[in-house]
A and B are shown apart, each in its own frame.
Chain A
């Protein structure tokens, strides 16, 4: 088990290094930091001095290591667009994205799992068939269309919920969170549904197909032959065995929630890192783009690691060495 974890950690580090290199290359070869910092009227001497001071004349590897070192301490340079340190800008906006991702993840997993199990057990039922057909439409729908539709229905027509923004926030250990206030929570509902819907459909379809697979296995047949009740079989045997493959995908899906937040945040003008990123792309704000890339890589790699570790708690075949 320890060897496995070490191997996974090494892999994670490799991914981070590779993504870090892309991030570094963007930083290094796109846009001219000296020009950005000094303006176009700077003298050649000024430029040379700054280049020396920034270490731009050192070998690439040295610069890459230095970039990585600075990134570790949260220093990503200054945003071209807003003129503030990128690390600061991102940290200020990260809570908004994380709380949104958290809420939509909860919605996606709880609803997706419940509906998946339901549609698997009631395989040929009318409601189950209806849910399955609707879910196919859900998968085909672009996220932003769902968002626009929800705004049209709940904000414009019914007037129940705000159409954009984050609402009030409350400070919690120095972090401002919208999830802690009624107004903020109301503002979160539409974006969270928009963000979670696609993931929910995916989880539901996956849970259903895995569950159907498990229900066909010999041990479920044997369990039925022993006269165990349908409830015990469905929830005691089949559901637990469905969890293993579902967890991987769900974990990875949670990662893409963070990425899809770009779209949702843009539709609802939610002030998170996704909105920051799309603005950066628009203005070719390289430092923000490269920092965002690294941030997402860290989130993905962390989630992958957690997923791997979760396996051990669920599948005894992995945790006990086979002998």
Chain B
């Protein structure tokens, strides 16, 4: 409007403001928001997930007892029924106690923390590994691509949960026996992470192959951008949608994998029980009638797995209808 004002200085803040507004408006009017609002299942599952995550994060504050502090445990409290006071000590437990008198609600909150921690870190690890290898594979090509993709092919032949178990066994074998319990969580994370990277790598590689041909990448070469800056700053943003979808679905898989391994006794150690470990403990009392030790951790795991899965399914449909 006013030609006197130089283009640079004063025009920029205004410009930023309008962008911010339109981004917000675009979000409010977008199909994603519309689809979210109109799907009660997704609202419920995302809220469930949020509650579980908050419960895990604040478990030290929320837990009525400190289940893993031996000094606070009283064996007399063992096998207390839910919502009743213990007949010897008079202590009250909302969800009852297990064989050692630990409060089930508290163990669930702490177990949830471990399950989510392992799941999230494993997926982050798988994502980083997958994205880097996928970029390398797609952008550099040649024998690097060949080797990475052959490994991916062979790994894809086996179900990821079996790969994770095998890796866990190998990891356990490589670690000195006296450190095994301490390192168990990290071995678990690395095993699950290594078993989930292939999907990420394949998707990123595919997108990179497409983007590499485009003119802006060629132009980037001409103006002297380095390979890595082209890959990270120009190609990567184009695949965030699919990566997000895969990450959500992988998170559900990783949580289930962790629970399964821990349930089978080849995951989280007894000193740091995850939901899977708790369910394994509970299973031992299935015949003797102490159902609550099994039921509540199982329901928590179910809610967690289901909410992440439903959310991932929905995200996939919304962000990329072509991905089936």
On A, residues with C-beta under 8 Å from B are: 15, 18-19, 26, 30-31, 136-137, 139-145, 148-149, 151-152, 156, 163, 209, 255-256, 259-260, 262-263, 266, 277-278, 280-282, 284, 286, 289, 293, 296-297, 300-301, 304
Contact = CB atoms under 8 A, between A and B. Distances in A.
13 contacts: A30-B173, A31-B173, A142-B305, A143-B260, A144-B260, A144-B279, A149-B298, A152-B291, A163-B287, A256-B159, A259-B161, A259-B162, A300-B158
Contacts of B301: 142, 145
Contacts of B324: 209
Given A139-B309, A156-B287, A281 B172 contact: yes
A139 B310 CA distance: 10
A148 B310 contact: no
Majority SS at the chain A contact face: helix
Given A144-B279, A145-B302, A281 B166 contact: yes
Contact of A259 (B159, B174, B264, B276): B159
A140 B264 contact: no
B165 interface: yes
A281 B286 contact: no
Nearest to A31: B173
Contacts of B256: 142
Contact of A142 (B174, B260, B291, B310): B260
Given A144-B263, A262-B165, A152 B286 contact: yes
B157 A300 contact: yes
Contacts of A263: 161, 260, 263-264
Contacts of B158: 259, 296-297, 300
A136 B169 CA distance: 31
Contacts of B294: 148, 152
B301 to A, nearest CB: 7
Interface in B167-203: 168-170, 172-174
B283 interface: yes
A137 B161 CA distance: 19
A148 B158 CA distance: 25
A90 to B, nearest CB: 16
Interface of B: 150, 153-154, 157-159, 161-162, 165-166, 168-170, 172-174, 252, 256, 259-260, 263-266, 276, 279, 283, 286-287, 291, 294, 298, 301-302, 305-306, 309-310, 313, 324
Given A141-B305, A259-B158, A260-B161, A278 B279 contact: no
A140 B309 contact: yes
A256 to B, nearest CB: 4
The 7 closest A-B CB pairs, nearest first, are A281-B169, A259-B162, A140-B309, A256-B159, A284-B173, A259-B159, A140-B306
Given A145-B301, A284-B173, 5 more contacts: A140-B310, A148-B283, A152-B286, A156-B287, A260-B161
Contacts of B276: 144
Contacts of B154: 15, 18-19
A282 B266 CA distance: 6
Contact of A26 (B159, B170, B287): B170
A139 B166 CA distance: 23
A29 B5 CA distance: 72
Contact of B309 (A136, A281, A282): A136
Given A140-B252, A148-B279, A282-B265, A293 B166 contact: yes
Nearest to B295: A152
B187 to A, nearest CB: 11
Contacts of A282: 265-266
Contact of A281 (B263, B266, B305): B266
